[in-house]
Amino acid sequence: MKKGRIIKLVGGIYTVVDEENKRYRVKPLGIFRHRNINPKVGDLVDFNEDSITKVHERKNELYRPMIANVDQALLVNSAKDPDFSFLLLDKFLTLIEANDILPIIIVTKIDLLTEKEYLDLKAKLSYYQKFYKVIYFSSITKDNLDVIVSIAKDKINVLAGQTGAGKSTILNTINPELNIKTNEISKALGRGKHTTRHVELIEFGEGYIADTPGFSGLEFKNIDSQEVKYYFIDFFELSKHCKFNECTHLHEPGCEVKRQVKKGNILEERYNDYKFIYNEIKAQKPMYRRDK
């Protein structure tokens, strides 16, 4: 019996990599289907010659794509072309936090900024740096490529970010052999053969990355407006000092979050994005809402 990690699922056949980096093609035991346990890409498993015999406990699982044990999301935002958007950043952060995955913020295309624009953006993003890792990258100058590689090492990574942000370009810069088409609208690696039945982790430096973006859309379908406050991690600590336990930081008196916004300790744009996201979810069609 061996222990390994599932890195690929195509047509019911799993590819498992063992601790010595050897690959095996195996099937799950029939018993799993019976018990409704579906081994997923990312799972740590026990296996023998031809079948998976045990799936180890998962720390989390994503549904699109179907991946278990995701360590972190590389949240890719372009500095320009398309212009940097704090609202988009905060929307993606909300989604990633709601899935209990660690976000790593990557700002791409810094070569397209003037020195002043670069300094201005960095100054604003320094607020986020208190809570998240922020990496400034350019595929042209290869600035901080080594930092991205070292952060991804030994991890299962997924990509997030809007089309055109430079996600595919990062993969190509790290591994030119991948030769992924860039500038493709909402199409990822392995074009054409992508169905929910084909999921693959590809080597990304010394780690793995999902071959499709885990968070490419911005659907808040499964998030309740009342939960959003938990996903703004900078608000969360402070909320202990709000007068009301379940303070939404909107209209309640004695709100510590609002007080800190006024004092300039919380970035005002960030607070406005919180309100925007809260209201957007609140306004969703009832069929998509869990809150009443």
- Where along the sequence are the contacts to ligand GDP (CB under 6 A)? 76, 108-109, 111-112, 138-140, 161, 163-169, 182-183
Burial-class residue 186 by CB neighbours within 10 Å (0-12, 13-18, 19+). exposed
Which span (18-26, 143-151, 159-167, 216-224) binds Mg ion, by CB under 5 A?
Answer: 159-167
String of contacts with Mg ion for each residue 107-126, x by CB under 5 A: --------------------
Report the alpha-carbon distance of residue 130 to residue 256 in Å, rounded.
19
Q: Which is nearer to Mg ion, 36 or 183 (CB)?
A: 183
139 binds, options Mg ion, Zn ion, ligand GDP, none, Cβ within 5 to 8 A by partner type: ligand GDP
Which tokens go with 36?
């409704």
210-249 residues near Zn ion, rule: CB under 5 A: 242, 247, 249
Write down the least CB distance from residue 167 to Mg ion, Å: 5
User: Which residue shows structure tokens 């042209």?
Assistant: 140
Instruction: For residue 242, count other CB atoms closer than 10 A to its CB.
Output: 21
Give exposure, 27-60, as e/b (b: 16+ Cβ within 10 Å).
Answer: ebbeebeeeeeebbbbbbbebeeebbeebeeeee
Specify whether the CB–CB gap between 166 and 139 falls below 8 A: yes
Q: Which of 108, 41, 39, 47 is nearest to 70 (CA)?
A: 41
Q: Which is nearer to ligand GDP, 85 or 163 (CB)?
A: 163
Report the alpha-carbon distance of residue 49 to residue 4 in Å, rounded.
12
Q: Which of 15, 72, 162, 168 binds Mg ion (CB under 5 A)?
A: 168
Write down the least CB distance from residue 74 to ligand GDP, Å: 11
78-97 residues near Zn ion, rule: CB under 5 A: none
Q: Which is nearer to Zn ion, 84 or 235 (CB)?
A: 235
Specify whether the CB–CB gap between 179 and 171 falls below 8 A: no
72 binds, options Mg ion, ligand GDP, Zn ion, none, Cβ within 5 to 8 A by partner type: none
77 binds, options Mg ion, ligand GDP, Zn ion, none, Cβ within 5 to 8 A by partner type: none
Instruction: For residue 290, count other CB atoms closer than 10 A to its CB.
Output: 14
Which tokens go with 268?
């005002």
165 binds, options Mg ion, ligand GDP, Zn ion, none, Cβ within 5 to 8 A by partner type: ligand GDP
What are the φ and ψ backbone dihedral angles of 239, each rounded to 5 degrees? -65, -20
Q: Which is nearer to Zn ion, 189 or 247 (CB)?
A: 247
Q: Facing residues of 63 across strands?
A: 66
Write down the least CB distance from residue 267 to Zn ion, Å: 16
Q: Which is nearer to Mg ion, 6 or 171 (CB)?
A: 171
Write down the least CB distance from residue 285 to Mg ion, Å: 30
Report the alpha-carbon distance of residue 44 to residue 56 in Å, rounded.
5
Q: Which is nearer to ligand GDP, 42 or 164 (CB)?
A: 164
Chain centroid to CA 140:
24
Contacts with Zn ion, residue ranges (CB under 5 A): 242, 247, 249, 255, 257
